Every structure is written in structure tokens, then in C-alpha cells.
Amino acid sequence: MEGEEMFREFLVQSLSAHTTGDFTSLLEAGRLDVVYQCILTSIFKSRSHRHDVVFHAILNGPPRPPMHLSISGDELRDARVDERSWENILRNVLNGRSHEGVNLTKSSLQGVIKEKSTEGYSIFLLDMEGEPFDPGDLSENNFFVLGDHIGIPRKDSKFVLRYGKRVSLGKEEYLAATTIDIVNYLIDRRPD
């Protein structure tokens, strides 16, 4: 697909991230720091942010899992890149307050995948064992699913593969945030 507008969305299945804002640090909130790192590489560039990206995380930690966090690059306002700023944004949203561009709803990985499939998205599971990722395979709306620092449970990957295909960035295992960075980079350098 060349010369046309193309949207990308990333979803991280976080097995432990807490679903309340009652925490002292992102690290101690069931590794919400991993979610923060993925927000950073999904949406932010050096001097601007990506308007054509939506980031999602499914938070499966206590006390009210699963919750679906989504951040729209187009709608996001008042957000810097430092960890302290995002600790405050995530704490506020998880405590029921609002932040422009950030949404929190009750939904699971399965619910979001079904919704995106119905909306016509091409769905890709990022997995070392997949076929080599080729940005030339992308369509207008693309949805990438990743595991967190623990990885994606087999039952979840099997579910995602009912709707999409498995793609790999090679035999090195990267951090989830690095994986997103590489996908963004490969898509950015497609010819116009």
C-alpha cells in the first residue's frame, strides 16, 4: 500500500498491570512502567507525536481486571514524555478522572480483537516465531498485538490468530517497547 493514508494501532496484553490508581510508582503497580514505555514508543517522536497511532493496553492486574486503556495520538493533549507525567496521567485515569485523549473502559483482549476485526482492521500478532514482518503487507488500518515483559499466554495468542497472522522481527527477543519502535520505524521508511 503506497501513497495512501495508513493507520496503526498497538495493543499490549499486560498480565499484571494494576487496575486502580492507588500506587506509589509505575514499577510497583504490576509493571505499569512497561505500559508507559510502550506508550512512549507508540506515540512519541522527538519533537512531536504521531497523530495516526492509537495505543491500547489490557490491564489484567488487581482489583478489577480486565480494563482497556486506550490513548489516541490524535486526541492526546497535555502530555510530556517523562515517566512522572505519565505516572500522574495513569493514576488520574485509573482513579476515574479524565485526561483528553486517554480512555479507560471495561473490556478484555478478546473483546477488543473482535471489535477491531468487525471494523475491518488487519490484525498482526508480533511473535518471534512468525513469518518475517513485511510493511508491504499492510492495509489501511493495522492492529498489532504484543505481549508484555512476561510474554503472551498461549490461549491469548491462539485467540488472536483466529483473526490475524503471526509476524516476526527476527530471532532476537526485544522488549515490548523496542518491538513497537522497530515496527514504527519500518512503517515510517516505506516509500511514499
Ligand X SMILES: C[S@@+](CC[C@H](N)C(=O)[O-])C[C@H]1O[C@@H](n2cnc3c(N)ncnc32)[C@H](O)[C@@H]1O
* Residues within the interface to ligand X (CB under 6 A): 126-128, 146-147, 149-152, 168-170, 172-176, 179
Q: Which is nearer to ligand X, 10 or 121 (CB)?
A: 10
- Name the residue nearer to ligand X (CB basis): 78 or 172: 172
Closest approach, Cβ 57 to ligand X, in A, equals 13
Q: Is the CB of 61 or the CB of 147 nearer to ligand X?
A: 147
Between CA 183 and CA 55 the distance in angstroms is 13
| Shortest spacing between CB 127 and ligand X, in angstroms | 5
Q: At what angle do helices 109-118 and 154-161 cross, to 10 degrees?
A: 10
Q: Which of 108, 79, 82 is nearest to 93 (CA)?
A: 79
Q: Which is nearer to ligand X, 91 or 179 (CB)?
A: 179
Task: Write down the least CB distance from residue 37 to ligand X, Å.
Answer: 11
Q: 39-61 as b/e, with b when 16 or more CB fall inside 10 Å?
A: bbbbbbeeeebbeebbbbbbbbb
Q: How far is CA 29 from CA 20, 66, 94, in A?
A: 9, 15, 11
Work out how close the CB of 99 gets to ligand X at its nearest, in angstroms, rounded to a whole number.
Answer: 26
Which letter, b or e, does each residue of 128-147 get, where b requires 16 or more Cβ atoms within 10 Å of its Cβ? eeeeebebeebeebbbbbbb
To ligand X, the closest distance from the beta carbon of 65 in angstroms equals 19
**Based on CB atoms, which residue is closest to ligand X, 77 or 171?**
171
Q: Which residue is nearest to ligand X (CB)?
A: 151
Cβ pair 13, 146 in contact under 8 A: yes
